[in-house]
Amino acid sequence: MSHLTAPPDWSGPSSDPADEQFGDVVNATDLDAADAFDAVIVGEPYDGAVISRRGAAEGPDALRDALAGVKTHHFETDAVDSVADLGDIDLPAGSVAEVQEAVREVTESVHALDALPVFLGGDNSLTVPNVAPLLDDSSVGVLNVDAHLDVREVRDGPTSGTPYRQLHEAGLDSYACLGARHFETSTTYHDYVRDRGGTVVTAEEVAENLPKAVDRALSGFDDVDRIYCSVDIDVLDAVYGGSSAPTPGGLLPRELFRLVRLLADDERIAGFELVECAPPLDTDGRTVDAAARTVAHFLSGWSA
């Protein structure tokens, strides 16, 4: 059975006392005390299901370090506060399917809290146990902010490319992908999404009219009670190559930041994750920094 390890102590690295940073406001907590906070961070240091390049297991620690130095002030919203860290899920050895099952034992407890879960990955395979507990008692839609659809068939076992196929088979009600790239998916998988009423919004559409792109993604979510938002950092352009599958033609960080703020404003949001950030593959920390600020922008939009 998996459990949560002790969370790290956060601190802001700035020497200026006027600089309130995430490191100054994120508190260590446990499941018994977590309801006192608006949002809770959970690390998932795992990349055993990655199809291509590994390194995402180092994502949670790097994201925490980068986020600790980000200031809490946003020009259009109040400063972010009331955030806690539950630590990392202690992941067992075993197959991807066994890891997914063990992680779900923890995420069920996290989703039972009043606080919003914020999962720091780790690879995309753990989206399955991150979302699955929500399917037990409500209709659910997932917003997949990603270059890829991730609806591959499960053949020799789950991978980072199968999570939304698995969730559809488990009863997922609605699905939309924002930031998808041309020539990065198979026609068969696009047909799979369309046949199930899903929506695919390309990176070009996001760049041309971001609010319209977000509205189109949400257009198929009218009948769902809860929404889960997943950001695969490979949605960014390949210049931000610290991910398992970077490709050209992606979003710019400022587009991603605005996009997640708009998504976070939906009152049905029930969880958020940032996945596939792979620090060993990064250059000068640019992907980690963009990913950490994506988390900050989501929290800013959600708490506004």
Provide the strand spans (E) within 101-244.
116-121, 140-145, 174-180, 199-202, 226-232
Whole-angstrom distance, CA of residue 212 vs CA of residue 210: 5
Would you say the pTM of this structure is higher than 0.95? Answer: yes
* β-strands 83-88, 26-28 pairing: parallel
Whole-angstrom distance, CA of residue 56 vs CA of residue 61: 10
Q: For residue 64, name the pLDDT band (cuts at 50, 70, 90).
A: very high
Nearest alpha carbon to residue 42 among 83, 85, 101, 11 = 85
- Mean pLDDT in residue range 32-47: 98
pLDDT at 294: 98
Written as six digits, the tokens of 177 are 């992908």
pLDDT at 52: 82
Query: Mean pLDDT in the chain?
Result: 96
Whole-angstrom distance, CA of residue 217 vs CA of residue 221: 8
pLDDT of 1 above 70: no
Assign domain 22-139+149-161+225-303 to its CATH architecture.
Answer: 3-Layer(aba) Sandwich (3.40)
With contact defined as beta carbons under 8 Å apart, do 132 and 269 qualify? Answer: no
pLDDT of 5 above 70: yes
The structural domains of the chain, with segments of one domain joined by +, span: 22-139+149-161+225-303
pLDDT at 78: 87
Cα 200 to chain centroid distance, Å, stands at 18
State pLDDT tens for residues 190-246: 999 999 999 999 999 999 999 999 999 999 999 999 999 999 999 999 999 999 888
Cα 182 to chain centroid distance, Å, stands at 22
State pLDDT tens for residues 156-197: 999 999 999 999 999 999 999 999 999 999 999 999 999 999
State pLDDT tens for residues 106-153: 999 999 999 999 999 999 999 999 999 999 999 999 999 999 999 999
Give, rounded to a whole angstrom, the gap between the first and last alpha carbons of the chain: 37
Written as six digits, the tokens of 114 are 């009043």
φ, ψ of residue 192 to 5 degrees: the values are -60, -45
